[in-house]
């Protein structure tokens, strides 16, 4: 990926910190909540500098109380502020689903439009040697909740652009940032570039098969595409970016050309992102057939054990095998 001359190369965490800082400057009503996001700067250093610049009133270190973190964020947002709540591990989003799903996602509807909840819940997903309770990807659960927007960037530019869109949206948004993306770097356009919801990104053009992925698995898909290219298989890799709403048009146009779709995700295949993506494409093509395969984590908890974690997660080899099997 080569950006314009003016573009700057930044780490994923820097893209997030920059988006947060710029939006806090732009909107004095924006308040951040999270564990160790103050002086410490966040578990992934993605909050670096914000506490020093905006102070303890707007960059709030919280107790280890995910239900209250999200509930307070929801209440504050509904009452006139704008809130971002950082959940260090998506596994612990489970502790705060009641205020997010039972209140925030329904507040506008149940009050007949009287309330809006401009809230962003930033939840860090994925496995990186941290074990069964620090590795889960449950974004598919939230995709199914009416009233919620769900986005999951794979690049620094999209992290920046989608977080900005989320921080200007007037409803609740789940922003999924994958652990393994933090050490990655990417180009950020010199000029502020927001990324709209519901718009996928073609990460790699190709003609033989469409691979749909999101967050870290976009990199897995691209690695597989490189291998397959050497075998003469030309993969189109689509970075979904926005899971709810989904950009069905981009997927449909790609599958119209390739006739084959492989979905890749780090979460479970069952009732996952991929199966929904394939169904939306099928519904949009009303019945016109195409080949489909899904690649996801194996149906087991994700152990911190290096051997078992690797065995459980989707990797380029499994994606490659799925593509070969589909095209053979």
Tokens found for residue 237: 């890799």
Task: Give how many residues touch a copy of itself by CB under 8 A.
Answer: 44
3-state secondary structure 21-81: HHHHHHCCCEEEEECCCCCCCCCCCCCCCHHHHHCCCCEEECCCCHHHHHHHHHHHHHCCC
Nearest CA-CA partner of 177 in 261, 241, 273, 99: 241
Residue nearest to ligand TPP (CB): 92
Q: What are the distances in angstroms from CA 310 to CA 38, 129, 316, 321? A: 34, 9, 11, 16
- Return the number of the residue (254 or 268) whose C-beta is nearest a copy of itself: 268
Nearest CA-CA partner of 212 in 196, 236, 182: 236
Q: Which does 275 bind (CB under 5 to 8 A by kind): a copy of itself, ligand TPP, another protein, none?
A: a copy of itself
Q: Contact positions toward another protein, by CB under 8 A? A: 29, 31, 35-36, 38-40, 43, 57, 60-65, 67-68, 70-81, 83, 91-92, 98-99, 102-103, 108-115, 129-134, 146-147, 149, 171, 298-301, 303-308, 310-312
- What binding mask, one character per residue, do residues 29-48 give for ligand TPP by CB under 6 A, x or -? ------x-------------
Q: Is 110 in the site for a copy of itself (CB under 8 A)?
A: yes
Residues 78-117 that bind ligand TPP (CB under 6 A): 88, 92, 95
CB 216 within 8 A of CB 154: yes
For residue 149, the cross-strand partners are 173
CB of 214 vs a copy of itself, minimal distance in Å: 13
Tokens found for residue 145: 């909740």
d(CA 93, CA 113): 26
CB 79 within 8 A of CB 73: no
Q: Is 104 in the site for a copy of itself (CB under 8 A)?
A: no
- What binding mask, one character per residue, do residues 55-84 give for ligand TPP by CB under 6 A, x or -? ---------x-x------------------
- Point out which residues bind a copy of itself (CB under 8 A): 91-92, 94-95, 97-98, 101-102, 105-106, 109-110, 131-133, 138, 140-141, 143-147, 244, 267-268, 270-273, 275-276, 278-279, 282, 287, 289, 291-292, 294, 299-301, 303
């Amino acid at each position: 990926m080569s950006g314009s001359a003016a573009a700057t190369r930044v780490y994923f965490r820097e893209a997030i910190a920059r988006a947060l800082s710029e939006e806090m400057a732009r909107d004095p009503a924006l308040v951040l909540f999270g564990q160790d996001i103050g002086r410490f700067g966040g578990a992934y250093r993605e909050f670096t500098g914000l506490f020093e610049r905006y102070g303890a009133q707007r960059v709030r270190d919280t107790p280890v109380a995910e239900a209250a973190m999200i509930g307070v964020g929801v209440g504050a947002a509904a009452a006139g502020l704008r809130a971002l709540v950082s959940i260090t591990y998506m596994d612990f989003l489970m502790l705060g689903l009641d205020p997010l799903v039972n209140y925030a996602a329904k507040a506008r509807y149940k009050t007949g439009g009287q309330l809006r909840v401009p809230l962003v819940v930033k939840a860090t997903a994925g496995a990186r040697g941290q074990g069964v309770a620090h590795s889960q990807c449950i974004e598919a659960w939230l995709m199914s909740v009416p009233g919620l927007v769900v986005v999951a960037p794979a690049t620094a530019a999209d992290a920046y652009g989608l977080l900005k869109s989320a921080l200007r949206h007037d409803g609740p948004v789940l922003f999924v940032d994958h652990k393994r993306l933090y050490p990655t770097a990417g180009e950020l356009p010199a000029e502020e570039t927001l990324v709209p919801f519901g718009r996928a990104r073609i990460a790699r053009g190709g003609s033989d098969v469409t691979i749909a992925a999101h967050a870290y698995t976009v990199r897995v898909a691209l690695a597989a595409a490189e291998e397959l290219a050497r075998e003469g298989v030309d993969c189109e890799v689509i970075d979904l970016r926005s899971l709810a709403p989904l950009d069905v048009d981009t997927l449909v146009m790609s599958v119209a050309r390739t006739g084959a779709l492989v979905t890749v995700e780090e979460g479970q295949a069952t009732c996952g992102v991929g199966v929904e993506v394939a169904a939306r494409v099928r519904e949009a093509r009303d019945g016109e057939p195409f080949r489909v395969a899904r690649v996801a984590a194996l149906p087991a908890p994700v152990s911190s054990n290096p051997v078992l974690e690797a065995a459980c997660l989707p990797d380029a080899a499994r994606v490659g095998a799925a593509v070969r099997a589909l095209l053979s």
